[in-house]
Structure 1
Amino acid sequence: MQSSRLAGWMVFTGILLVLASIGLLKSVADDWEQANGPLLQQKITVNAGRSEAAGSTPGLHWKDAERLAQRWSPLPMAYSARTQTAASSGSNAAHTDVFGVSGSFRDFTAIPMVNGSSITQKPVDEHSRVAVIGARVADSLFRSTSVAGKTIELFGVAFTVIGVFDDEGSLLRTMSDDGVPDVLIPITTMFDVYPGARIETIQLAVKSDAAFGVENKASEALRAIGRNPAEFNFIHDSLTFARLTQLRFLLLTICMWITVVLLARFIVRHIRVIYDLLRSRLITDNWTDALRNERSRLTRHLLAVIIMAGGAVGLWKLTIFRFDVPPEWIPEQIIDISFYMDKLRSLWQEQASQIGYLPPPHELIADAAGQLTVKLFIAGAMIGLPLFLLGLRLWALERIALSIQLQRLCIYVVLSAVAAFSAARSAGMAYRIEPLEYTVAIALFLVSILHFNKGVTPSHGKNVS
């Protein structure tokens, strides 16, 4: 009785982890992509790092950024500077992250407005002292989000609030230490009231077919305005998105291969049955009589072989994908220990050189998304799948009836989907699982149950637990 309950919990936990991991892996990638604004992943982000040149200041002045925008034209570009200061209104004050942004900032970063308007090109050109504030800042200063037209003080200067945006963080933003600004002001105005500001983040739109070579183009544009590309960190957003999504496909591929291997074992069993049938018949009959006398059983087994082989091929075609490996991690020779040692050494040196470097929100969110996808993959592939298979093995040893196992499977799948959906919603993400994922997962669950129950005679005394 106890072992049966343990097996049930193992199966349920395994199903929950597998379905939750598959769905949440897609949700994380989609959430990160949507945070990039209307351009989604068709851009490259350039972040100012630690300057290596003597007397060189990290980041750009806004006039340098304008020159860079001209070099990048006709493709759009956005840039931002940030600093921390107190925002106040009357006796109320709040410590805020203030971002000076260009007019095209909202095309590159999702800023969901609660009311009012965002920063456009006109206030940037006119050096207007206007601000768009987060809902939490609005609540701290005014106890309301309907504050358009009211005045706040930043850097000792009065700014007129023209809009309020939703700054409630999703799980990714929480993991990235809330990678969302508190206040947005025109970039030109920031340099007027805070001359020490520097543009730290530049986002360059790229063509959809320009996945390769775009970093070199961005480096050339920086050299053209007199800046060393080595002082900047480059994030190619489409490659980041591809690396976020490939762990989901890798998990699906693992599920597919487990299913295919189990189907192959079923196929071998049916072929062996066909062989034994014909062999026993051919002792007394010729081929024609043997086929005629056993045509019913032979047809059933042949149909089973064809259906399972077709299912295996279909699953393989549904889940096949190209695993992305950065070119710089591919050695000329497969076995080259010195190559990998040099790469690890370069990573350590890079980490040491980044001491004191404060990543901008976009980079923080990308890092958080990468860490979360790895954890979800480990939960599904290395914990969920083994638990599920071990639970099925215990069910088989307990001789639980196949019909009971299938009933529980249906219940567990529904409960797991509901639990995963609830967890995603509570984390501020949408739980998305497509027919492809359900097809692969359900095929794995069903084939695994059938595989572990082959040749098991149910013990009805242990069916209820």
Structure 2
Amino acid sequence: MRLATFLVAIGMLLMSFSSVFSEAAVMAWQQSGGTVGSERFSLKAGSVPGPSGTAGFTDKEANKLIEAWKGSAAYSMKGKLSLKAGNRQMEVEAAGIGGNFTDFTSILLDRGSMISEGSMERRDQVVVISDRLAEYLFGSTDVLGKEISIQNTKLRIIGIYRSEDSLMEWMTKGVKPEALLPSSMFTALSPESRVGTILLEASGDALLIGELEVNTTLRNLKLPMNEYKVAIGEKSFRLIQQLPRLLPALMGLIVLVLGLMWMRRVAGSTYSRMKSALQVGDSDEVMKRERPYMLKQVLAFIAIGVSTGGLVLLARFSPFIPAEFIPDRWIDLSFFRQKLFQHWQEQPPFFSQILPYQLMENRLNSYIPIVTTSGLLLGLPLFLLGIREWRMIALPLRDRFIRLFYCIAVCYLALGLALLLVGLPQFISPSLWITLFGFCLFAAAYPQPNRKDDYFEH
């Protein structure tokens, strides 16, 4: 019995980790700027090395492009700057931001405000710094309105944002900037800096004509089109977002099959009993005698149907497979292996200029498939094997539920603590928890098989 319970617990933990932890990582990616939502699309126009060998755009070139763009647009440039306050000085990663930056990235401010578009246009000498940098330079985070110096240029602090260590930090190789400046100020302080990526909001039909829109704008501005790479952000978002839901989707399919079989069994047993009773007794007397049994069976049938329908609805999702992920020959298994591990093996292009969420996206593209696979290939079979062992020893349904509730509590607390420790979002979709734990309860409650040799004699 202990082995069966252990298998159930490990299977539940792997399944929960597979979906919940992965979805929390996706949410962190969204908060870092990786999301554009299903209601709009985003295009990334990223530079590639031109004939001169220099990658990136100047601040003027970036502004020229986004001014001609019809929707929102944003960009950033990064580099190391030496910041000074009083007798303390520190060289840190800094970023100059331009355009509608807050439309694409969510930065959690502890106090103050973000750099506005007006500040960028006016070339205001302002800066937003991390709480870690504030503690080092001033010994406190209560520094709004104070000044720091960069190359003898004084900048006023208008905001403080959080910089606690988190999964996002190590997934982006620790390149999260400690200071944010208007791009115009950053260019003045670091003239050699270049913009690595420009984010462009596009229309709802961007999947069809998004690349054409960007190319048309580039052509109208007489900018070299061969120095741009165009990628549709929504495609990448949809692909990453769906992976944590693959396991719940499979659970919904299993629940649908088990539910229909269970309902058929209830209906069949009711029919057989009533048929036998009517053959040996008066119909009125039989109906009166069997009324409680009939009511119980009808309620059970409805409950099973409602539970099955509810879990299937919670688990459903629309699969999305980009065309480039479909090989010409399905028998070529090396294609899938290469797609799974390529992001672990390759260095992201323009590493020093890429945005934090783009680095995180590269990690998620390989991290989430592996975690999802662990839940599909390890967690689910172990859980189902443990449930089967419970059936083989004829463990009462009440005892199964008691053990499951203990396992559920352990999974919930363990994952909550893990998310807290690595700084991932704590709020996970309730439907995901209900799907995971509802499937476990449904599978445990499924009637034991009729084969007598599946049980030990007591």
TM-score range, shorter chain: 0.7 to 0.9
Q: Which residue number in structure 2 is paired with residue 101 of structure 1?
A: 97
Superposition map of 1:255-294 within 5 A? 255-270=251-266, 273=269, 277=273
Q: Which residue number in structure 2 is paired with residue 327 of structure 1?
A: 323
Whole-angstrom CA distance in 2 between matches of 1:212 and 1:343: 29
Aligned-residue offset at 1:363: 0.6
Q: Which residue number in structure 1 is paired with residue 186 of structure 2?
A: 190
* Residue 58 (structure 1) aligned to one of 38, 44, 55: 55
8 Å contact kept, 1:132–1:183: yes
8 Å contact kept, 2:172–2:357: no
* Residue 44 (structure 2) aligned to one of 29, 43, 46: 46
- What TM-score, normalized to structure 2? 0.82
Whole-angstrom CA distance in 1 between matches of 2:408 and 2:144: 48
Whole-angstrom CA distance in 1 between matches of 2:335 and 2:369: 23
Aligned-residue offset at 1:364: 0.8
Q: Which residue number in structure 2 is paired with residue 84 of structure 1?
A: 80
Distance 1:364 1:234, change over 3 A: farther
Say if 2:445 is the partner of 1:445: no
Q: Which residue number in structure 1 is paired with residue 385 of structure 2?
A: 390
Distance 1:141 1:436, change over 3 A: closer
What SS does structure 2 have at the residue aligned with 1:173? helix
8 Å contact kept, 1:15–1:388: yes
Q: Which residue number in structure 2 is paired with residue 163 of structure 1?
A: 159
Query: In terms of mean alpha carbon deviation, does 256-265 or 39-48 score higher?
Result: 39-48
Whole-angstrom CA distance in 1 between matches of 2:231 and 2:162: 26
Q: Which residue number in structure 2 is paired with residue 17 of structure 1?
A: 14
The answer for unaligned runs of 5 or more in structure 1 is none
Query: In terms of mean alpha carbon deviation, does 121-130 or 188-197 score higher?
Result: 121-130
Distance 1:354 1:183, change over 3 A: closer
Superposition map of 1:67-82 within 5 A? 67-73=64-70, 75-82=71-78
The answer for unaligned runs of 5 or more in structure 2 is none
Q: Which residue number in structure 2 is paired with residue 418 of structure 1?
A: 413
8 Å contact kept, 1:44–1:234: no
Q: Which residue number in structure 2 is paired with residue 213 of structure 1?
A: 209
What SS does structure 1 have at the residue aligned with 2:319? coil
Distance 1:432 1:158, change over 3 A: closer
What SS does structure 2 have at the residue aligned with 1:34? helix
> C-alpha root-mean-square deviation of aligned residues, in Å?
4.0
Identity %: 25
Aligned-residue offset at 1:445: 1.8
8 Å contact kept, 1:102–1:186: yes
* Residue 399 (structure 2) aligned to one of 404, 425, 440: 404
Task: Specify the code of the residue in structure 2 equivalent to 1:178.
Answer: G
Task: Specify the code of the residue in structure 2 equivalent to 1:127.
Answer: R
Aligned-residue offset at 1:451: 3.4
8 Å contact kept, 2:34–2:237: no
Superposition map of 1:24-39 within 5 A? 24-36=21-33
8 Å contact kept, 1:103–1:120: no
What SS does structure 1 have at the residue aligned with 2:187? helix
Q: Which residue number in structure 1 is paired with residue 149 of structure 2?
A: 153
Per-residue Cα deviation, 1:417-458 (whole angstroms, up to 9, x for no partner)? 222222222222233344433443344223322337445899
Aligned-residue offset at 1:325: 0.7
8 Å contact kept, 1:50–1:354: no
Per-residue Cα deviation, 1:310-353 (whole angstroms, up to 9, x for no partner)? 5444443443322001133457x8x56699979979x98xx889
Whole-angstrom CA distance in 1 between matches of 2:5 and 2:230: 48
Aligned-residue offset at 1:400: 2.7
Distance 1:226 1:197, change over 3 A: farther
Aligned-residue offset at 1:255: 0.9
Distance 1:403 1:124, change over 3 A: closer
Aligned-residue offset at 1:82: 1.2
Task: Specify the code of the residue in structure 2 equivalent to 1:99.
Answer: A
What SS does structure 2 have at the residue aligned with 1:185? strand
Say if 2:169 is the partner of 1:173: yes
* Residue 375 (structure 2) aligned to one of 365, 371, 380: 380
8 Å contact kept, 1:48–1:58: no
Q: Which residue number in structure 2 is paired with residue 240 of structure 1?
A: 236
Whole-angstrom CA distance in 2 between matches of 1:165 and 1:413: 35
Say if 2:360 is the partner of 1:362: no
Task: Specify the code of the residue in structure 2 equivalent to 1:60.
Answer: F
Task: Specify the code of the residue in structure 1 equivalent to 2:155.
Answer: F
Per-residue Cα deviation, 1:76-102 (whole angstroms, up to 9, x for no partner)? 211211112332334433231121112
Query: In terms of mean alpha carbon deviation, does 174-183 or 434-443 score higher?
Result: 434-443
Per-residue Cα deviation, 1:142-199 (whole angstroms, up to 9, x for no partner)? 2222233444333464434333222224322332123421111221122223221111
Distance 1:365 1:275, change over 3 A: same
What SS does structure 2 have at the residue aligned with 1:60? coil
- What TM-score, normalized to structure 1? 0.81
What SS does structure 2 have at the residue aligned with 1:65? helix
Task: Specify the code of the residue in structure 2 equivalent to 1:57.
Answer: T
Query: In terms of mean alpha carbon deviation, does 34-43 or 245-254 score higher?
Result: 34-43
Whole-angstrom CA distance in 1 between matches of 2:283 and 2:19: 51
Distance 1:443 1:142, change over 3 A: closer
